[in-house]
Structure 1
Amino acid sequence: MTRPQWVPPGTDTEKPNAARVYDYYLGGSHNFAVDRELARRAVELWPELPMIMRANRAFLRRAVHYAAEQGITRFLDIGSGIPTFGAVHEIARETAPGAEVVYVDQDPVAVAHSELLLADDPLSQVVQADLRQPADLLTRPPVAALLDAGEPVAVLLVAVLHFITDAEDPEGIVRQLRAAMPAGSILILSHACLEGRPDQTGPHQDLYARTPTPLTMRSRKRISGLFDGFDLVEPGVVYLPEWQPENPGAVGSHPERFTGMAGVGRLP
């Protein structure tokens, strides 16, 4: 089979990858058979998963709009994945036409596809770096340039920290990022939560444990603690569809079924 243009040479197509599985959930085409198989098995265990993934993407859209409406024109999307639908630069520029975006991901497929997408966009760049090594990530020239200007930046950690194990210290990673963020910056974060559907958390984590990106779901208290040092924006850390919904009536009576927490914080 001919290797598609978006697949870098040497890419391991035999192991599922979280970025490509997420792409499949969203209806994208940048995934392999092994990714689709993992996604199908996950949906068999948890039929609401595609709905949860779409709710996470909808939160990203609302939060980016909020940041742009607050005057933020610089965005750092860490763990950006494959920008299949509604990439951050497209959303931000609906409100702030000159918005600059730096995308960061460790997956070579996500980076290669982003580079193709952004080839003609002088205001957007992509960096291959690992969130587990924040000191290295922060020194990459596009990232450093975005942060060193002294203007507020929106840092996105959307559905990425649950791929950081406790041993890799997610709280410490966020602290290092916070220390590099100018005053007035915004943190946009979502995370898989243990509450809501406790019957599903164990099997789902077991499934992802077989991949290079194991899943660590955390409590609402742990997720809220990731915002230490930030002033939470109303309504605080809540289930995905509850964060500033465009149509409050569409949230439904059981938002806990989305099993993902989301929040936005501002750095004083």
Structure 2
Amino acid sequence: MARFDEPSGRSLRVDLERRTPSTARMYDVFLGGKDNFGVDRDAARRVERAAPSIVRAARDNRAFMRRTVTWGVRDVGIDQVVDIGTGIPTSPNVCEVARRHNRDAVVVGVDHDPEVLAHDRARLGGLPILDGDVRNPGLVLADLEQTGLIAWDRPVLLLLVAVLHFVSDEEDPAGIVAAFVERLAPGSAVVISHVSSTGADPRAVAEIEDVYAKSTSPGSRFRTHEQIERLFGGLRMVSPGVVQVQHWPVERGPVTALPVLGGVGRVTGTL
């Protein structure tokens, strides 16, 4: 059953003792937010010691999100956006960017973190936020179907921004993407960004993976450029393909020592 503003079925007790670093709150630290705790800041500082460019990489990733949403809504004319893994809201967020270019755009968020859901529902002014986990695309799609908000016979802009590196190999990230793509109409677009080990300092990668192994997403891992390309499966890549996020769609300043790769793929064929 689709869930918008009701409490999470798991529990409203959200790590009350704050002993475990939250990946969402750590990202909030990197973006300069205030919705985090000492345990998150300690973990974030450990990541930053290993990779001092992490703060700029996180902010460049957010800029990539804004550009891809602008491309999809303004340039391509897609008026339906599904944001998987919304994270703690920052501004400008996906909804703000989409509705800047089309005030009637339908935007639906999905996240499985109870704390993220609480923040989103409090701040995003009635924007539909579903309680769902990217690792279970079938259930997410069923809940989206039940809302009736998405017209599946028309193109959708699906965002998987900085989400799939929290999915382990055993959980089959490529299969997850394929399950979503199978439901999308031709003309839809899938946006993916992902931290990459290609070109990164192996010691930094190992240290960061160790930090996240003790977080709320213990399956987190870096992937190579080739592995990230394979996540797009049979999608038709939009130029320039999978590149560092600072270089999509054109070069915009220097890349970071901690690579974040991103790309956009289009759904082809017929329903």
Corresponding residue of 1:74: 80
Conserved in 1, the CA contact under 8 Å of 2:83 and 2:110? Answer: yes
- For normalisation by structure 2, the TM-score amounts to 0.89
* Identity value in percent: 38
Q: Do residues 110 (structure 1) and 116 (structure 2) align?
A: yes
CA distance in 1, matches of 2:230, 2:50: 29
SS of the aligned residue for 2:140 comes to helix
Conserved in 1, the CA contact under 8 Å of 2:246 and 2:253? Answer: yes
Q: Do residues 221 (structure 1) and 226 (structure 2) align?
A: yes
Q: Do residues 167 (structure 1) and 170 (structure 2) align?
A: yes
Amino acid of the residue matched to residue 251 of structure 1? G
The equivalent position to 2:214 in structure 1, one of 203, 210, 213, is: 210
- For normalisation by structure 1, the TM-score amounts to 0.90
Q: Do residues 265 (structure 1) and 265 (structure 2) align?
A: yes
Q: Do residues 43 (structure 1) and 45 (structure 2) align?
A: no
Q: How does 1:46-61 map to 2 (within 5 A)?
A: 46-61=51-66
The structure with higher relative contact order (CA 8 Å, sep 6+) is 2
Conserved in 2, the CA contact under 8 Å of 1:79 and 1:105? Answer: yes
Conserved in 1, the CA contact under 8 Å of 2:57 and 2:256? Answer: no
Amino acid of the residue matched to residue 59 of structure 1? F
CA distance in 1, matches of 2:99, 2:145: 19
Q: Do residues 131 (structure 1) and 134 (structure 2) align?
A: yes
CA distance in 2, matches of 1:38, 1:70: 39
Pairwise CA RMSD of aligned residues? 1.6
Per-residue displacement from partner, 1:166-208 (whole Å, max 9, x unpaired)?
A: 0000011011000111111010110110112133211111111
Conserved in 2, the CA contact under 8 Å of 1:196 and 1:256? Answer: no
Q: 1:143 to 1:191 in 2, by over 3 A?
A: farther
Q: Do residues 20 (structure 1) and 29 (structure 2) align?
A: no
Deviation at residue 242 of structure 1 after TM alignment: 0.7
Deviation at residue 258 of structure 1 after TM alignment: 4.0
Q: 1:141 to 1:189 in 2, by over 3 A?
A: closer
Q: Do residues 187 (structure 1) and 190 (structure 2) align?
A: yes
Per-residue displacement from partner, 1:95-121 (whole Å, max 9, x unpaired)?
A: 1111111111111111111111233x4
CA distance in 2, matches of 1:191, 1:141: 24
Amino acid of the residue matched to residue 216 of structure 1? R
CA distance in 2, matches of 1:51, 1:118: 25
List gaps (5 residues or longer) in structure 1: 1-7
SS of the aligned residue for 2:109 comes to strand
Per-residue displacement from partner, 1:131-154 (whole Å, max 9, x unpaired)?
A: 111111111146763444411100
List gaps (5 residues or longer) in structure 2: 1-10
SS of the aligned residue for 1:197 comes to coil
Q: 1:97 to 1:189 in 2, by over 3 A?
A: same
Conserved in 2, the CA contact under 8 Å of 1:157 and 1:188? Answer: yes
Q: Do residues 157 (structure 1) and 147 (structure 2) align?
A: no
**Count of residues in correspondence between the two structures:** 253
CA distance in 1, matches of 2:68, 2:192: 9
